[in-house]
Amino acid sequence: MKLRNLSIASFNLYNLNEPGLPLYTDPDGWPQDAYDRKIDWSQRVLSRLKPQVVGFQELWHRASLERVVARAGLTDQYDLLIPPDANGTHIVCAAMVQKGLLEGTPEWITRFPQKFILQSQGDDPQTPAIAVAINSFSRPVLHFTIRPREDHGPVHVFVCHFKSKGPTKVFREPWFNADRTGYQPHQTNLGAALSTIRRTAEASALRFLLTGIMKGTDAPVIVLGDINDSQHSNTANILTEQPRYLVGDSVGGGDVALYTAQTLQEYRNTRDVYYTHIHQDIMESLDHILVSQEFYDNSKKRLWMFDGMVVMNDHLNWDDHAESGTNDHGIIAARFRYRPIKVEAAGIVES
């Protein structure tokens, strides 16, 4: 296979489970009619976009995603990557990959890397010691490889879903109940801090895995998913390692850097119109496509040139997801054109 165009999408399915199965504290789950609307809307999204690779978040049951893909008429065109234990009892990440692209066997990574440590005695005498005792992802990270072109090595793809900004519910904790009166006024603050620490640890653990693959290897990498944080957040900065964008033509790139499709798109617009989530009237981009230097226009090691992106987010203007079948996140898709830097330098332009 020698693709000249590659499209990648990220799609939060908004708790896609079989009708009647429990969702969190809701024992009844989706009613049949609301479920049917979710299936219909989701299949129409896939039918319209038809990207070669889609990373999914918030899938509960494999049968529901299989139904979406079948209704879209795409079953014969794609391989579905769904963990064996997607039986409706918990949330997983999944993917669909155009047939012929997948290489090897996908894996779902639950545990943090064995050598990953978040611990320090402090940088100076004024800084107290710190230790974060988290050893696993809230939602297992999906890792697989694709080979868009047989004349190049495989591309590593990671699909992730990090802890939300919603404050962790601390009112169930023994220490909280030992002094409810004292802790009651602080539960939002403490819960938000715990969620931030967990999300930060997850971003750092994934970055640890990414660096292990990318450092000194020129291995192309794509990260898709709902990181529950914005473009310039600390979460995103940990993942990307904050590379430079505004550099001279074909002289940029970084060995372990990741570049956000959002920023690449902003360079093609006169204004920023990108958001994938609305909370209390605040529009944010929580869903991201991050790519290594092989997909960055100005990289000296470029293989693929950014060719624009689509953000499907009009449905976020109405908070009627059960009635309309929509989800509560925007769907993003980025397109890339095969245009290696050596080809361009030689004056050869592929049509």
Ranges of each domain in the chain: 5-160+204-345
What's the pLDDT tens digit per position in 282-322?
778 889 999 999 999 889 999 999 999 999 988 888 889 98
How far apart are alpha carbons 122 and 126 in whole angstroms?
Answer: 8
Report the pLDDT averaged over residues 232-237: 92
The dihedral formed by the CA atoms of 172, 178, 183 and 184, expressed in degrees to the nearest 10: 60
Considering the chain, what is the average pLDDT of its residues?
92
User: Could you identify the residue written with the tokens 């939060």?
Assistant: 12
Greater confidence, 342 or 199? 199
And the tokens for 86?
Answer: 């997607």
Instruction: Count the neighbouring beta carbons within 10 Å of the beta carbon of residue 289.
Output: 24
What's the pLDDT tens digit per position in 244-280?
886 655 567 889 999 999 888 887 776 656 778 878 7
Residue 348's pLDDT is what?
46
Report the pLDDT averaged over residues 163-170: 93
DSSP letter for 201, please. Answer: H
What's the pLDDT tens digit per position in 52-100?
999 999 999 999 999 999 999 999 999 999 999 999 999 999 999 999 9
Residue 346's pLDDT is what?
44
Spatial CB neighbours of 172, under 8 Å, sequence gap ≥ 6: none
How far apart are alpha carbons 251 and 63 in whole angstroms?
Answer: 47
What's the pLDDT tens digit per position in 2-47?
999 999 999 999 999 999 999 998 999 999 999 999 999 999 999 9
Greater confidence, 282 or 144? 144
> In the predicted model, is pLDDT for residue 127 greater than 70?
yes
Class assignment of domain 5-160+204-345?
Answer: alpha beta
Residue 274's pLDDT is what?
75
Residues facing 304 on adjacent strands: 338
**Cβ 6 vs Cβ 304: under 8 Å:** yes
Largest CA distance in the chain: 73
Q: How many residues does the chain have?
A: 351
- pTM for this model (two decimals): 0.94
